[in-house]
Amino acid sequence: MRRKIVAGNWKMNLVREQAVLLAKEISNERKIDGVELMIFPPFVFVDPITQQIGTDLKVGVQDIYFETSGAFTGEISIAQAKSVGAGIALIGHSERRELFNETNTILKKKVDAALSGQIDFIFCCGEPLNIRKTGREYDFVKIQLEESLFHLSEEEIKKVIIAYEPIWAIGTGETASTEQAEEMHAAIRSWLMERYSEQTAEIIPILYGGSCKPDNAKELFACKNVDGGLIGGASLKTSDFIAIANSF
């Protein structure tokens, strides 16, 4: 059975006291059997959070750099992330791709660095509105996977969590239906099957990252190929985040 995961990406929100309190609240909630909870606070809050909650909750970073050290002002190495308690990283989030011009080539380097540095990661993929409107969404997402992820060996790909973000349905006024989410997730799994094997494709979790909320999570998580969510705004409120996890 595939892992069930609900991951909260806090983005550039909160200050230290708020972040630590939110992490404590989530950590103190009744654990949902069979569901893994993860949080991705701003990097500066990872250390105070992990100091307060220990190993009760998996804490990650929102980005990593592919070099181990050097003159890369503002970047965070994998060793630095791990040294403050981070056990997982996001790679290729849509905002990193769109706002900071991260290419598939750069993300391939980050994927390789994560494996070499032995940190878990969630690899994000997804298409913007102009691609969806021209009907090229499947080709677009497949290329993202082929150019950044599908160079991995079968043993390496088994360590990966994938998150699909329909960028066109986030803050645009457009809405992604449950059917559209399941269709893309099924396509991603079929490409994994083609590149690797059915057995490997069936064990890789694919999360949905398109405005998942308490009122639509149950329907989304009931889909055959949706194994959880990468949650944005709803992860900033304990009751919403836990309600989404309870949707399983």
Distances 123 to 127, 163, 216 between C-alpha atoms, Å: 14, 6, 23
93 catalytically annotated: yes
CA-based nearest residue to 247, from 232, 3, 227, 236 = 227
Q: Residue 159 gets which letter from DSSP?
A: T
36 catalytically annotated: no
CA distance 48 to 19: 9
Q: Which of 93, 102, 137, 185 is an active site residue?
A: 93
Q: Are 104 and 91 in contact (CB under 8 A)?
A: no
CA 92 to chain centre: 9
Q: Across the chain, how many H-helices and E-strands are there? A: 12, 8
Q: Residue 27 gets which letter from DSSP?
A: H
Residues 6+ away with beta carbon under 8 Å from 116? none
Secondary structure (3-state) at 69: coil
Strands 206-208 and 120-125: unpaired
Secondary structure (3-state) at 187: helix
Residues 6+ away with beta carbon under 8 Å from 199? none
Residue type, position 143, single letter: I
Q: Which of 102, 137, 165, 185 is an active site residue?
A: 165
Q: Which residues are catalytic?
A: 93, 165
